[in-house]
Amino acid sequence: MSTSSNQPESGKSALSLEQKRMLYRDGYIVLKNAVSEEQANAALARISEAKKGEYIGREDVIVDLINASSITPILNEAMGEFDPPIACQVGVIPVTQPNDRFTNLGYRDKDLPYYGAGTHMDGSITIAAPQEIQEGTPEEIYARHFASGPKGDLGRSPEVMGHNMVPMFEDPEMTLGLGSFTAFVFICLNDQTVEGRGQTAVLRGAHHAMQKFFRMQYETNEHLGPEGPEWPRLNYDCPNRCGMVYVPQSVQDQFIDESSESTPDGKKWPRPTQVLMDKGDACITLYHIPHSGTRNEHGTESRKNMIFRIRNKKRQPNVLVNGISDHPDRGQQGEWLEFEEGNDPWERSKYAMCNMWDEWQGMQEVVAEQQALEEDGAGL
């Protein structure tokens, strides 16, 4: 697996010009020592004290990794105003070995390359993967799978919720199959400088391909995400016949090359970049970049990343984004939110998905510069 090398030292209040160019090109940037040693140690101490099943992602010692660190001014300058997170995903992955369980992709964990990476876009419903090979027609498998979710058999509906508490569709008309936001922030709290330690992996540069894909979907029939044009929700040809299609195949195909590894059925998978970080480092990515946690196969301790989802306030100034939700146009549990007259949240989110730099206010000069260079290159 390729490894991340875009790790210049972070400025304390803003990304450098070179860092912004890297963010444009790669879709992510690593900030060395973004969080102080004292903050990282305090968060680690709280994690070690936590009882089994206890959720600590709302505690100050965790959310202050963003709210009281250099990350807030850096994001304010590069992206714009955002709600200080009040919660985060506590991304702890224990040391594990390859196993026989079917993953959400419909393949056995041991058969997936790149330490079991399940590269995906956030904001997509996930139902627990069937552990038996599914029988029946695709329609029967689809119906049975989504009826097994936490709210039972509701058919094909925006009321259907996943075990990850993400709706099947964001909107009542079922034209938006993904929740969205502006930026991820992954804060590393232990040594992940060697691959195979549970790192987050990203499909470097694929944010450009995802934006282009969303634009194609919008231009075709204004349906974005899974179940929109050229993006089926399920793969019926995988080993358990019920795998989630988390990234459109046409996007995956653009990142298949001679380095790509295969599952036993011969299917090639894009090679993601493992983001190598150490305690106190942070990774900022665009929403648009496909990514995945990976198996902590070679670690000596659990992998500890605190994961925040951030949205620029300009999209919905009157909606509080809590820092953990990947579908903030709905409530955390899928509740319907009220919006003022004339405010179509689904259309605003579709626009942001088709125009990924619109919510990165401090990136506009670099985006214009890089797009001009691309146009000049295309004209040669």
pLDDT of residue 9: 46
* In-domain check, residue 147: no
* In-domain check, residue 136: no
* In-domain check, residue 156: no
Q: Per-residue pLDDT averaged across 153-176, rounded?
A: 97
* In-domain check, residue 168: no
Residue 379: pLDDT band with limits 50, 70, 90: low
Nearest to 141 by CA among 244, 248, 241: 241
Task: Decide if pLDDT at 128 tops 80.
Answer: yes
Q: Which CATH number is 48's domain given?
A: 2.60.120.620
Q: What percent of the chain has pLDDT over 90?
A: 95
Averaged confidence pLDDT in the chain: 95
Domain count, the chain: 1
Q: What percent of the chain has pLDDT over 70?
A: 96
307-339 pLDDT, tens digit per residue, is: 999 999 999 999 999 999 999 999 999 999 999
Residue 376: pLDDT band with limits 50, 70, 90: confident
* In-domain check, residue 169: no
Q: Per-residue pLDDT averaged across 179-193, rounded?
A: 98
* In-domain check, residue 43: yes
340-364 pLDDT, tens digit per residue, is: 999 999 999 999 999 999 999 999 9
Look up the domain containing 79 and give its range: 2-128+180-328+337-378
Q: Per-residue pLDDT averaged across 147-165, rounded?
A: 97
* In-domain check, residue 160: no
